[in-house]
């Protein structure tokens, strides 16, 4: 595999090296598996959209593997002088990086740019399309805690329509044999779900929670909701789609609670639950995120 652009279309054999190496990196406390495997490699970070976790975890992953990283900062770039994203990208390509980690607000941007690139392109999120390394992160977190994905009941709850994390996770988790259910406010249900064999619900009820092994909460993607709020108020969202003091008791004791971050406290998750409940894996996901990105870099540079 030359680039890492999407989860859709990958089969378990494609995914296995990323998961196996990722789990090894977690077990190895994020230490490289061999001495400085990416020595003398130069990786560019081209983030055309904001990021905390993805950006820093890609950088930690690259540095831990011995590579060097250069950040292209869109806010101080010639894009503000009218240069197109395409020309900016071509400029970066001609500086001969060994890989480019690209985040862009437009769906398909990473695929488009990859056509022109002789070095690996890694999709760090393209609009509301895919976020493949986040799905890998979440799968590693579940595998690390549960040992397997096959047969698990995984509920993804929130703004599915605008979330690239939802789509990549649905693709990855179902490919590896998990049973995925979706809970979302009706305007946030993606039409593409109709073509997939997935149950969709309009409320995070006790009945759904009772049989849940993993609950993945996603925030309303306010930066992509330009016209009407797809739910009446944040308080009502919290009652119907959030994990709160009323519905948490239905969740089995051994269930996991995941959230890719950033969280909106007291909207998709009650603040007290987020800080205190033992099932919450949000901080473990951060660690798994570094392992996932180390794994992607490792596999791309060694295949
Ligand atoms: C996600 C993203 O950027 O799509 N966050 C992340 O990468 N950690 C999810 C989100 O922003 O809600």
Q: Are strands 256-258 and 121-126 parallel, antiparallel or unpaired?
A: unpaired
Q: Tokens 């996991």 sit at which residue?
A: 256
pLDDT score recorded for residue 79: 76
Cβ atoms within 10 Å of 34's Cβ, excluding its own = 9
Angle CA(190)–CA(13)–CA(47) in degrees, nearest 5? 55
Cα–Cα dist 89/102, whole Å: 10
Query: pLDDT tens digit string along 279-303?
Result: 999 999 999 999 999 999 999 999 8
260 lines ligand 1 (CB under 6 A): yes
Query: pLDDT tens digit string along 171-204?
Result: 999 999 999 999 999 989 988 888 888 999 999 9
Query: pLDDT tens digit string along 135-163?
Result: 999 999 999 999 999 999 999 999 999 99
CA–centroid distance, 34 to ligand 1, in Å, is: 31
131 lines ligand 1 (CB under 6 A): yes
Give 68's Cβ-side CA count (13 Å radius).
6
136 lines ligand 1 (CB under 6 A): no
Cα–Cα dist 190/52, whole Å: 26
Give 61's Cβ-side CA count (13 Å radius).
30
- Provide the pLDDT confidence category of residue 75 given band limits of 50, 70 and 90: confident
Q: Atom of ligand 1 at shortest distance to CA of 219?
A: 12
Mutational pocket test of ligand 1: of 124, 137, 157, 165, the residue with most ligand atoms within 8 Å of the beta carbon: 165
Mutational pocket test of ligand 1: of 216, 262, 281, the residue with most ligand atoms within 8 Å of the beta carbon: 262
164 lines ligand 1 (CB under 6 A): yes
pLDDT score recorded for residue 183: 97
> Residue 203's closest CA among 164, 242, 260, 169?
242
Q: Atom of ligand 1 at shortest distance to CA of 52?
A: 8
Is the pLDDT reported for residue 33 higher than 90? no
165 lines ligand 1 (CB under 6 A): yes
pLDDT score recorded for residue 44: 97
pLDDT score recorded for residue 34: 83
CA–centroid distance, 165 to ligand 1, in Å, is: 7
169 lines ligand 1 (CB under 6 A): no
pLDDT score recorded for residue 73: 80
Is the pLDDT reported for residue 77 higher than 90? no
**Residues pairing with 179 in the sheet:** 153
Task: Report the predicted TM-score, pTM, of the whole model to 2 decimal places.
Answer: 0.96
Helices 12-27 and 164-175, interaxial angle, to 10°?
Answer: 100
> Residue 298's closest CA among 35, 37, 15?
37
């Amino acid at each position: 595999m030359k680039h890492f652009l999407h989860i859709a279309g990958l089969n378990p054999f494609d995914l296995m090296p990323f998961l196996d190496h990722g789990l090894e990196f977690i077990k190895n406390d994020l230490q490289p598996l061999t001495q400085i495997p990416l020595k003398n490699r130069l990786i560019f970070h081209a983030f055309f959209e904001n990021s905390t976790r993805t950006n820093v975890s890609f950088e930690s992953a690259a540095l831990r593997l011995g590579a060097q990283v250069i950040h292209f900062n869109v806010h101080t770039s010639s894009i503000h002088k009218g240069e197109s994203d395409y020309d900016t990208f071509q400029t970066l390509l001609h500086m001969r990086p060994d890989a480019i980690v690209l985040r862009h607000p437009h769906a398909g941007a990473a695929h488009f740019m990859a056509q022109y690139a002789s070095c690996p392109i890694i999709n760090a999120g393209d609009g509301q399309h895919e976020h493949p390394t986040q799905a890998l992160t979440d799968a590693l977190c579940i595998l690390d805690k549960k040992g397997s994905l096959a047969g698990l009941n995984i509920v993804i709850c929130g703004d599915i329509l605008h979330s690239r994390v939802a789509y990549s996770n649905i693709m990855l988790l179902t490919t590896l044999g998990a049973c995925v259910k979706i809970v979302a406010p009706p305007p946030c249900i993606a039409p593409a779900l109709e073509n997939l064999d997935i149950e969709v619900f309009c409320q995070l009820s006790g009945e759904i929670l009772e049989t849940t092994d993993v609950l993945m909460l996603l925030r309303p993607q306010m930066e992509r909701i330009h016209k009407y709020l797809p739910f009446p108020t944040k308080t009502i969202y919290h009652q119907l789609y959030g994990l709160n003091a009323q519905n948490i008791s239905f969740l089995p004791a051994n269930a996991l609670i995941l959230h890719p971050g950033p969280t909106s406290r007291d909207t998709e998750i009650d603040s007290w639950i987020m800080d205190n409940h033992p099932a919450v894996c949000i901080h473990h996901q951060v660690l798994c995120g570094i392992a996932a990105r180390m794994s992607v870099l490792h596999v791309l540079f060694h295949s």
